Amino acid sequence: MTNLSHRASFHSRERIAPSNRGIKHLKAIDNRFAFLGYIESSALDDAVNDTRTDFSLSEDEVDSIVDQAKERVKNFLAPELAEIREKQTGIVAALRIEHPRFLSIQGTDDEIAETLHYGTNRKEDIFVEMSRQSLRQYERRKNAFKRSIEKNLPDVEAKAKEYVAELKQESVSSLAEYVMKRKLVLDVFEESLKFKPDTDQESEYEDVLHDIICPLKSTSSDLDYDDHNLWIVDDRLAFYSYFNSDTRMERQVSDPAHPKDRPDVSVFDLGLAFENEDKSSPITIVEFKRPKIDNYTLEKNPITQVRKYVEDMRKAGEAIKYDGTPIRSIEETTPFMCHIIADVTPRLRDVMKALGNFHRRAGSNTYYSWDSSYSIFIEVSSFKDILESAKSRNRAFFERIGISV
């Protein structure tokens, strides 16, 4: 076979000086790197046909030339390829931190990067490739287990253990990613609290914080359970059946007394899309108030406001979806959980003292009261208290995967 070590030489179509090398010398085509080169050899001159359109070489000889050419190019471009691999490794490492489910992929960051095509250098493309590797790894273990079962092979127990270990790793990685996303959401929420609104922006500020917890003017028909962050208020609200956010009462209950009223958030059932016929299942209302305001009166305040919502819902007797489809009945004895998120100002404290037997939760600025005559549990918390409570509830999970709060 033709040996290129003596009979061929390589040339780039761009002259690259040894002191001025770099990825920039590679040709960029559709954001992918390409090296353009050609082979010169007296052996090829002797083997070319009269029309110079083909060579009188066997298929094995052509394959040998191509294989040797690849090795020569790889050696020639070693500095550039090392730079690409370094960049790919950095992206792989960052993706495994940001998306911990990729921790289940076997191998180190360097080893995963080595499996990538040199042209795969965008974060999105590497994400897709790592997703593909994760799926293929899972499918291999699953199929190996199924084959052992179907053929009654002696290694069935070992394959079962491998498959179960794979499922466990996938579950742990998925949970880690879910926890990581919670941490990022709390970081955004905390940064939003640092905003100092002026008079004209106070309403907008309230909307921003509301939108982080649950997008405005939406229902669970519009959003998946991953699209809201009601767990910041109460972890049980992460798993719901139906909720409304900034939606008119006329689209929430049948024939309401005040159809244009808009509770900030109302959650009619828990259970992640499982219809719940239990009339004793609580209905949750979340009401946001603009930070820094202190103009509350006995007639106009968030406590009276949520009680009015509860009264209207009970009188309506039936919760409906946005299209009028019945969800559940609302009885006089149906319990309500009302979260009021507002700065606990002196006037709000006066209102709480006048309207109910509110107690302060130890170590916080959160107040709560159970109104047995209305079957209403009311909790009043500041945005800061909501943040700190969410951090505390999730701290063990954050520490478990090595992130600080």
Averaged pLDDT of the chain: 77
* Distance, C-alpha 58 to centroid of its chain: 55
Buried b (16+ CB within 10 A) or exposed e, 54-88: ebebeeeeeebbeebbeebeeebbeebbeebbeeb
| The pLDDT value given to residue 230 | 82
Nearest to 306 by CA among 250, 260, 374: 374
Could you read off the pLDDT of 73-99 as tens digits, one per residue? 888 888 888 888 999 999 998 888 777
Q: How far apart are CA 348 and CA 339, in angstroms?
A: 14
Highest mean pLDDT among 6-10, 178-182, 299-303: 299-303
Higher pLDDT, 174 or 61: 61
Q: Calculate ∠ Cα 299-305-306, nearest 5°.
A: 145
Question: Which residue reads 């004895």 in tokens?
Answer: 333
Buried b (16+ CB within 10 A) or exposed e, 336-352: bbbbbbbbbbeebeebb
* Distance, C-alpha 131 to centroid of its chain: 15
Instruction: For residue 245, count CB atoms less than 10 angstroms from its CB and return exposed for 0-12, middle for 13-18, buried for 19 or more.
Output: buried
> Residue 311 above 90 pLDDT?
yes
| The pLDDT value given to residue 296 | 92
- In terms of phi and psi (left: phi > 0; alpha: psi -120 to 50; beta: otherwise), the region of 226 is alpha
Q: How confident is the model at residue 336 (pLDDT cuts 50, 70, 90)?
A: very high
Nearest to 285 by CA among 208, 233, 333: 233
Residue 128 parent element (H or E):
helix 123-150
Sign of CA dihedral 124, 128, 131, 133: negative
Q: How far apart are CA 59 and CA 65, in angstroms?
A: 10
The answer to whether 261 touches 309, Cβ cutoff 8 Å, is yes
Mean pLDDT along residues 233-262? 85
The answer to whether 4 touches 37, Cβ cutoff 8 Å, is no
| The pLDDT value given to residue 310 | 94
Mean pLDDT along residues 30-35? 65
In the chain, pLDDT over 70 holds for what percent of residues? 71
* Distance, C-alpha 298 to centroid of its chain: 43
Q: How confident is the model at residue 177 (pLDDT cuts 50, 70, 90)?
A: low
Token couple for 403: 């992130």
Buried b (16+ CB within 10 A) or exposed e, 310-335: bebbbebeebbbbeeeebbebeeebb
| The pLDDT value given to residue 250 | 92
Across-strand partners of 38?
Answer: 11
Mean pLDDT along residues 111-132? 88
Distances (CA, A) of 121 to 84, 94, 127, 128, 239: 7, 13, 10, 11, 38
> Residue 217 above 80 pLDDT?
no
